[in-house]
Structure 1
Amino acid sequence: MERVGQAIDRAIIFGASGGIGAGLVAELIARGADTVFAASRTRPENLPDGAQWVRFDLDEEDTIAAAADTVGAPVDCAIVASGLLTLPDGTGPERSYKQIDAEAMARVFHLNTIGPALVAKHFLPLLPRDRRSIFAALSARVGSISDNRIGGWHSYRASKAALNMLIRNFSIELGRTHKHAVCVALHPGTVDTVLSEPFQANLPEGQLTASGQAACNLLDVLDGLGPEDSGQLFDWAGKRVEF
């Protein structure tokens, strides 16, 4: 996609210890970003030169607020690259409604929906009003209600559908005060990360994307988006996905 805005100078990536998050940090630095904050619960082992680590924990809103205080304004780009499909104990995703568990579903919603909302609460105010800025969150095509043909994966699908709605809400509210802002959800495709590892065996050849390439794809998409695209879900190739 053709670039429509200026280069990103100050950015923060949430979930920087994950595959896509780490890739985004490295790619932003490679593209010349002046300051890149890598936000994660623990300091990434391979933090790229030029990146600054900031601690945050989706279970502790105080750490998100503290990260906002540390980073300060302006923030040209904030991307939430955290998310979860399968819980650490192996629970999920559900193949049938018979497998729905209230506690497990609540946890998936907290990490995939409520967490990004808390990040938005504290970081949308840091976006500049006088120029283009970006707030993005990793979503998924399976969170599209209109695109759902096979069902299943109830908690994950529903949490991403809810995230998509929040992105739409944020874009409307943000548009009243930040005329140049871009607020979108992004579908990265199937990426070679811990999240997708249990489901990679039956993928067609060529469908699995390396995390570094996925990060490059997503930043290319963001480069081509303007305020008129705000509130939408875009895939890794820049194609809009209907909610």
Structure 2
Amino acid sequence: MSSDRPPKAALIVGAGQGIGLEFARQFLQANRVDRLYATYRNSQADLLAIADPRLHCLPMDITDEAQIVAVRQAIQAESPALHYVINCVGVLHEGAMQPEKSLRHLNTDQLLHYFQVNSISAVLLAKHVQPLLKHSDRAVLATISAKIGSISDNHVGGWYGYRASKAALNMFMRSTAIEYKRTCPRAIVVTLHPGTTDTQLSKPFQRHVPPEKLFTVDRTVKQLLTVLDQLQESDSGEFFSWDGSRLPW
């Protein structure tokens, strides 16, 4: 890295496994930043096995706002700015919790959990990283969403909580982008559809996915980084697929 500019820093949220872990690996391999902050929830996370002096691993449950604040404070103590914030946290199934196929499967606790993890936590993250994105360099706040959260693209129904929580995520990030235009004008806020990726999240639902449409995490992250690299400030507030196409709300 050149020494004639201030150090660049990034935050990958949900880097303990899957897409988030691969983002951390590829950021380090490509020397994208001088300092990489990465959060994890599980003390057995593969992230913790990466030995790189640029990597700073921080425990965080994104559904706990106090922990988000603690992570931001830890970053602020070392870095005045972030150039990337990539939020890879999401839940589709967990233990006995499975996507609802019908109205009769709906229950309040499961719906609340979907919204807490997939929607509310993301906008609280945007709230607390805002001070670190108030600088004169290009910055990106990207959140992993899902095409299934597109209201106009919903033709088969089902998966009520997951669909609705991703649609809410998209609206939260759209509103964040509008506010950031005033407060962090160089920050580009987007939501991303990664495609069906071979992770624990998609594992129970891969049976009917054609092999060419089931991406490795390596391929998914490379594709998403290409999308992020091509973003212009005018793209802030938009919803992009893995191939760079805009998705309908």
Q: TM-score range by the shorter chain?
A: over 0.9
SS in structure 2 of the partner of residue 145 of structure 1: coil
Contact 2:135–2:186 under 8 Å retained in 1: yes
TM-score, normalised on structure 2? 0.91
SS at match of 1:136: strand
Query: CA offsets, 1:80-112, max 9 Å, x none?
Result: 1010011x2232201111111111110111000
Partner of 1:217: 223
Kept after mapping to 2: 8 A contact 1:180/1:226: no
Q: Indicate the RMSD between aligned Cα atoms, in angstroms.
A: 1.5
Question: What is the CA–CA distance in structure 2 between the aligned matches of 1:222 and 1:144, rounded to whole Å?
Answer: 20
Aligned with 2:65 (options 61, 69, 76): 61
Higher relative contact order (CA 8 A, sep 6+): 1
User: Is residue 10–residue 85 contact of structure 2 (8 Å, CA) maintained in 1?
Assistant: yes
Match of 1:93 in 2: 99
Alignment of 1:39 with 2:49, yes or no, is no
What are the ranges of 5 or more consecutive residues in structure 2 without an aligned counterpart?
1-6
Q: Please give the alpha-carbon distance, in whole angstroms, between the structure 2 residues aligned to 1:15 and 1:159.
A: 18
| 8 Å CA contact 2:81, 2:135 repeated in 1 | no
The secondary structure found in structure 1 opposite 2:211 is coil
What percentage of aligned pairs have identical amino acids?
37
Deviations 1:32-63 (A, max 9, x none): 12111111123423443322101111232111
Cα distance in structure 2, aligned partners of 1:67 and 1:201: 38
2:116 to 94, 98, 110: 110
Partner of 1:49: 51
Q: Distance in 1 between matches of 2:127 and 2:222?
A: 27
* 2:14 alignment partner in structure 1: 15
Q: Measure, in 1, the Cα distance between the counterparts of 2:246 and 2:127.
A: 25
Q: CA deviation at 1:221?
A: 0.6
Aligned to 2:4: none
Q: Which amino acid aligns with 1:113?
A: S
- State the number of aligned residues: 236
Deviations 1:12-40 (A, max 9, x none): 11100120000000111112121111111
Structure 1 Cα separation of the partners of residues 35 and 160 of structure 2: 38
Structure 2: distance between partners of 1:41 and 1:199? 24
Q: Distance in 2 between matches of 1:107 and 1:141?
A: 20
Instruction: Give 5+ residue unaligned stretches, structure 1.
Output: 1-7
Match of residue 158 from structure 1: 164
Residue pair 1:56, 1:64 contacting (<8 A) in 2 also: yes
